[in-house]
Amino acid sequence: MKGLKIIVLAKQVPDTRNVGKDAMKADGTVNRAALPAIFNPEDLNALEQALRLKDKFPGSTVTLLTMGPGRAAEIIREGLYRGADNGYLLTDRAFAGADTLATSYAISCAIRKIKDFDIIIAGRQAIDGDTAQVGPQVAEKLGIPQVTYAEDVLELKNKSVVIKRRLERGVETVECPMPCVITVNGSAPDCRPRNAKAVMKYKHSRTQTERQEASEDYINLVNERPYLNIAEWSVNDIESDINQLGLSGSPTKVKKIENVVFQAKEAKVISADDNGIDELMKELITNHTLG
């Protein structure tokens, strides 16, 4: 069979799992700038599934697509280092403030522009929002089927993919015709590490914006090696209805954000020595909380 054209949707996210004390500002709000920006973990699981398909079906290509600020080009480079073939950064102020629906719309417009694809693979959800909505909504916008909670892409049959899904209480194997969207669970295999050759090949890859201050030598290098160009698309590069993008294209609005303040209770402090623990256990047994 001929190679597959695979698009991997990836997002650069703040590492919300490691919110340290310095990540909170004096007023108690989250200082996003202080959080490291990382490749969304489940998008790495998605990339691995794409790379496995590429290994199995020589001639396949893996294309990364991300939407975000300019610095999100970092995760495209990261994907290239791990085995992807090329990438697109969708970046424009017009996309800012988008909820999951407006995000999905923008991404689906970019995919229509890329045009030629068999499978779109994304992580199940991103750790900054945990919504798991963008994958299915992209599928709906493109009018193609979706398979969520995928753990393994098992095989290709004719023009279908056979996929193992991880549900709450078991596993389900489904056969889905291509083209389709697959979202991958964190329980799927981890992504392979960077490949030293790929790092050498792509370490000078840059978007147009990143190249603005580049030397003439570097410009010449990119002209010689076009794969060093990371495609950067603004709203003008995709065909879209501006009213469906960004804040104005978002049906959901944030009415209020509250920082977390717990209603403090009067806690009884127990000393960690034998006496303290014995007293507590005695109380719990006496009042039938235990036993």
Partner 1 sequence: MNNIFVICEVDEGKIADVSLELMTKGRSLASQLKCKLEALVIGHKLNGVENELYTYGADKVWVADDARLEFYTTLPYTSIAVKLFQEEKPQIALLGATTYGRDLGPRVSSALISGLTADCTSLEIGGHEDKKENKNYKDLLYQIRPAFGGNIVATIINPDNRPQMATVREGVMKKEIFDANHKGELVKLDVAKYTSATDFVVKIIDRHMEKSKVNIKNASIIIAGGYGVGSKENFNMLYDLAHLIGAEVGASRAAVDAGYAGHERQIGQTGVTVRPKLYIACGISGQIQHIAGMQESAMIISINNDPAAPINSIADYVITGNLEDVIPKMVKYYKKNSK
Residues 65-124 touching partner 1, rule: CB under 8 A, are 99-101, 104
33 φ, ψ (degrees, to nearest 5): -65, -25
Q: Work out the number of other CB atoms within 10 angstroms of the CB of residue 71.
A: 13
Given 189, 219, 221, 278, the residue binding partner 1 (CB under 8 A) = 278
| Candidate segments 72-80, 86-94, 141-149, 219-227, binder of partner 1 by CB under 8 A | 141-149
CA distance 174 to 150: 10
For 66, counting Cβ atoms within 10 Å of its Cβ (0-12 exposed, 13-18 middle, 19+ buried), the class is: buried
For residue 176, what are the β-bridge partners? 161
- Identify residues 240-259 at the interface with partner 1 (CB under 8 A): 250-259
| Candidate segments 57-65, 115-123, 147-155, 218-226, binder of partner 1 by CB under 8 A | 147-155
Q: Shortest distance, CB of residue 210 to partner 1, whole angstroms?
A: 28
Return the structure tokens found at 187: 């329980």
Q: Which is nearer to partner 1, 61 or 133 (CB)?
A: 133
Q: Which is nearer to partner 1, 165 or 211 (CB)?
A: 165
CA distance 291 to 284: 9
- Identify residues 12-71 at the interface with partner 1 (CB under 8 A): 14, 16-17, 19, 24, 29-30
Q: Shortest distance, CB of residue 242 to partner 1, whole angstroms?
A: 15
- Assign 36 to helix, strand or coil: coil
Q: Work out the number of other CB atoms within 10 angstroms of the CB of residue 243.
A: 9
Report the alpha-carbon angle 81-61-49, nearest 5.
Answer: 70
Return the structure tokens found at 202: 């792509």
Is 149 among the residues that bind partner 1 (CB under 8 A)?
yes
Is 239 among the residues that bind partner 1 (CB under 8 A)?
no
Is 9 among the residues that bind partner 1 (CB under 8 A)?
no
CA distance 76 to 11: 9
DSSP state of 30: B
| Candidate segments 63-71, 73-81, 139-147, 229-237, binder of partner 1 by CB under 8 A | 139-147
Binding map of partner 1 across residues 167-206, x = CB under 8 A, - = no contact = xxxxxxxxxxx---------x-------------------
Is 264 among the residues that bind partner 1 (CB under 8 A)?
yes
Q: Shortest distance, CB of residue 59 to partner 1, whole angstroms?
A: 26
